[in-house]
Amino acid sequence: MTQVCFSKICPDEIAAIGHRIAKIGFPQIRSREVSRSKEIPGEPKFADLYFIPAEPRSAEMAQLGVFNQITAIACLLEPFRNAPSDTEVRDCILKLFWLHSDLHRQAEASIPEAELAQVWILATSIPTPQLTRFAATPKANALPGIYSLGSALKTNLVSIRELPTIPETLWLRLLGKGETQALAIQEVLALPPTVAYRFQILRLLAQWKISLELLPNLDFNPDDEEERLIFMALSQAYLEWERETEQRGQQRGFERGLDQGLGQGQRLVVEQLLRYRFGDLDSQLSAIIPSVLELSPETFTPLLMQLSRAELLARFQDQS
């Protein structure tokens, strides 16, 4: 069995995971525009997430704690599984400056300084020497673990491990690593069922657990204590999602509520595998998903990972 550490998962996978976790909150945050892989003008540069809030903001957004504050104005979100290098931090700042330049060019009038987008660099940890090199200081009126550069730079850094363990930081701590992330998952499980976004988070965590089991390059390494801790937490989240899916099916009168819920989870995995291989999920690839789902995960996973796009379409379009 191929073994790989969570800390060595490719950057695209980590960015995708961070993007999905962040997106769960966006149904709670009314937005005018949310752009994934926002292209920055000039030499092609892409921010992981570009968010522009809508007005007026609802009272429900207070449930998102620090995320509510982060998304109060337009922002770029740049998550990192590990501490970013100095070069990566500078690249994030450069993306922001390119974005500012483009917005100024498009605007008919000057954009007020207070309305310019900020960049938030979200990392599991940020070493003190690195904070010193960037002259980062604790952000005014913010929780421990949140730093900013000079006000004109519009740049903020979040050291997730330093955040206090309180409900207001839950969204950010889910993007953490090791014990920080595992504890955040336990907090999700402890949330009362009446919390609107609880089931959404459980569904995401269940999907992640399924992906770790099915994707060949993300095999679980049982010898790594940190990976084992996270996987155990994900397994608990999966079981809870499975239980709540069954309950929801029963409450709605579905005799096979659990099967439908698990089928939905498998569809999400198939969609993720297709995007992992081919990028965008266009109409042709979407059309073959029902035929793919007629196979077991053990059968369709190697096919999706090994066959070319043309071979997949040729095999499954005939069955559609």
DSSP for 22-50, written as a single string: HHHTTTTS-EEEEEEEEEETTTTEEEEEE
Instruction: Give the relative orientation of helices 178-190 and 225-251 as an angle to the nearest 10 degrees.
Output: 20
Q: Between the CA of residue 159 and those of 59, 69, 150, 202, 239, what are the distances in Å? A: 27, 16, 18, 24, 30
pLDDT band at 297 (very low <50, low <70, confident <90, very high): confident
The mean pLDDT of 156-167, rounded to a whole number, is 94
pLDDT tens digits, 209-254? 776 666 555 545 556 677 667 777 777 777 777 676 766 665 555 4
Is residue 188 within 8 Å of residue 201, measured between CB atoms? yes
pLDDT band at 316 (very low <50, low <70, confident <90, very high): confident
Is residue 130 within 8 Å of residue 86, measured between CB atoms? yes
**Mean predicted lDDT score pLDDT of the chain:** 77
Q: Picking from 118-127, 158-167, 307-316, which range would have the lowest pLDDT averaged per residue?
A: 307-316
pLDDT band at 258 (very low <50, low <70, confident <90, very high): very low
Please say if the pLDDT value at position 15 is more than 60: no
Radius of gyration over every alpha carbon of the chain, rounded to an integer in angstroms: 21
Q: Which amino acid makes up residue 310?
A: A
The mean pLDDT of 160-187, rounded to a whole number, is 88
Cβ contacts of 253 within 8 Å, gap of 6 or more:
none
pLDDT tens digits, 20-31? 555 555 555 556
Closest CA to 211 of 293, 268, 145: 268
319 or 117: whose pLDDT is higher?
A: 117
The percentage of the chain sitting over the pLDDT mark of 90, rounded to a whole number, equals 23
pLDDT tens digits, 77-105? 999 988 899 999 999 999 999 899 888 88
Q: Which amino acid makes up residue 61?
A: M
Please say if the pLDDT value at position 59 is more than 80: no
| Cα–Cα distance measured from residue 306 to residue 143, given in angstroms and rounded to the nearest whole number | 47
pLDDT tens digits, 180-210? 888 888 888 888 877 767 777 888 787 777 7
Is residue 84 within 8 Å of residue 9, measured between CB atoms? no
pLDDT value at position 312?
Answer: 86
Q: Tokens 């291989």 appear where?
A: 277
CA 115 to chain centre: 25
The mean pLDDT of 101-113, rounded to a whole number, is 84
The mean pLDDT of 28-57, rounded to a whole number, is 71
Residues in the chain: 320
| Cα–Cα distance measured from residue 161 to residue 145, given in angstroms and rounded to the nearest whole number | 7
The percentage of the chain sitting over the pLDDT mark of 70, rounded to a whole number, equals 70
Q: What is the DSSP letter of 71?
A: T
Please say if the pLDDT value at position 8 is more than 50: no
7 or 86: whose pLDDT is higher?
A: 86
Please say if the pLDDT value at position 109 is more than 70: yes
pLDDT value at position 131?
Answer: 95
Q: Of all helices (H) and strands (E), which one includes residue 146?
A: strand 146-148
pLDDT value at position 163?
Answer: 95
pTM (two decimals): 0.64
pLDDT value at position 160?
Answer: 94
The mean pLDDT of 172-180, rounded to a whole number, is 86
109 or 151: whose pLDDT is higher?
A: 151
| Cα–Cα distance measured from residue 226 to residue 211, given in angstroms and rounded to the nearest whole number | 18
pLDDT tens digits, 301-314? 778 777 888 888 88
